Amino acid sequence: MQIIAALFIDDIEMRQVPGPATRIDLRGIQFSAPAPKPFPVTVEPHLVVIVRCPPDGIGSGVLETVFTDEHGTEVARNVQPLAVEPGRFRQQLVRADLTYSEPGTIEANCRIDQGPAVVVPYTILPPVDTTNT
């Protein structure tokens, strides 16, 4: 199996189109966000991983996502079984509580069965001051 894409998103929707085809609509793709309140903060961004199984693939494996801070320290981990019909695609949602003590970046390192990692950064920015708007 192969990871085709991994992205932080606001929402995902599957829709059928004529014939046996399916569309995946992703909304609110993001790589950063303002902190929802003063630091420290914990956020739960939605990470979607889109996986392909080749026609001659075995169709099962383990999706591991390790979240690391700017120093390479593991701050969260998500491991889940993965089943994809050979010749098909699948989307898998990954959740984690990510805690930031200050503005910074945490990277999601996604891989299947100890294979190569797809790395997706998620940066928390300072909170937006809405008192003067």
DSSP code at position 36 = S
pLDDT of residue 111: 98
Q: Does residue 53 lie within any of the structural domains?
A: yes
Question: pTM of the full predicted structure?
Answer: 0.89
Containing domain of residue 77, as a range?
2-118
Average pLDDT over residues 60-69: 97
For residue 69, being part of any structural domain is answered with yes
Q: pLDDT per residue over 68-105, tens digit each?
A: 999 999 999 999 999 999 999 999 999 989 999 999 99
The pLDDT mean for the chain works out to 93
Mean pLDDT across 21-48: 93
The answer to whether 100 touches 39, Cβ cutoff 8 Å, is yes
- How many angstroms separate the CA atoms of 55 and 52, rounded? 9
What is the pLDDT confidence band of residue 20, given thresholds at 50, 70 and 90? confident
- Please count the structural domains in the chain: 1
Residue 132, in any domain of the structure = no
**Quick one: pLDDT band at residue 133, thresholds 50, 70, 90?**
low
CATH of the domain at 23: 2.60.40
Residues with Cβ within 8 Å of 56's Cβ and at least 6 positions away in sequence, in order, are: 86
Closest C-alpha to 82, from 102, 109, 64, 98: 64
133 lies in some domain = no
Is 78 among the domain residues? yes
pLDDT category of residue 10 using cuts at 50, 70 and 90: very high
